[in-house]
Amino acid sequence: MSLLCSSLSWLLTKKAQLQAQVIAGAIEKKDFGGNFFKYLTNGLEKAAGVPDNVQSFGWAIPKIIYASRTHSQLSQAMYELKKTSYKHVATAVLGSRDQLCIHPEISKETSSFNKIHMCHAKVKSRTCFYFNNVEAR
């Protein structure tokens, strides 16, 4: 949990840094004198761990992916996260093949057990277009 919280802290700092860069860029273009914004941007870069000699290339905001082996571990992590100061951070919980498989033939199956095994068989035999397409990217 401490690693997840420290990663979220870094992410929020990185978001603030990127927002400050956008604001500073807009203000410098209007000749308001951006000394305050340069100071703010430098402080945010240091907090985000950007070395002084590295230029920011305007990358998109990174995403943090937290994975677990079981649903109960994932549920416990989300429960603990809600007790921290990061409870406001948007999260998405992704489930098993039973919940996520989008193959039309498999989705029609009513039995959860059959869905899991059919999906696994298609992936293993490399006959699932959707899995192969994602893997190719």
**pLDDT (tens digit per residue) in 22-51:** 776 665 555 455 566 667 667 767 776 655
Quick: pLDDT tens for 84-94: 999 898 888 77
pLDDT, residue 34, reads: 55
pLDDT for the residue numbered 49: 63
| DSSP assigned state of 88 | T
DSSP class of residue 85 equals: T
pTM of the predicted model as reported, rounded to 2 decimal places: 0.50
Give the pLDDT confidence of 125-135 residue by residue, as tens digits: 999 888 888 76
SS3 83: coil
User: Where would I find the beta strands (DSSP E) of 1-137?
Assistant: none
Q: What distance lies between CA 109 and its chain's CA centroid? A: 31
Q: Are 28 and 34 in contact (CB under 8 A)?
A: yes
pLDDT of residue 54: 47
Distance between CA atoms of residues 98 and 22, nearest Å: 42
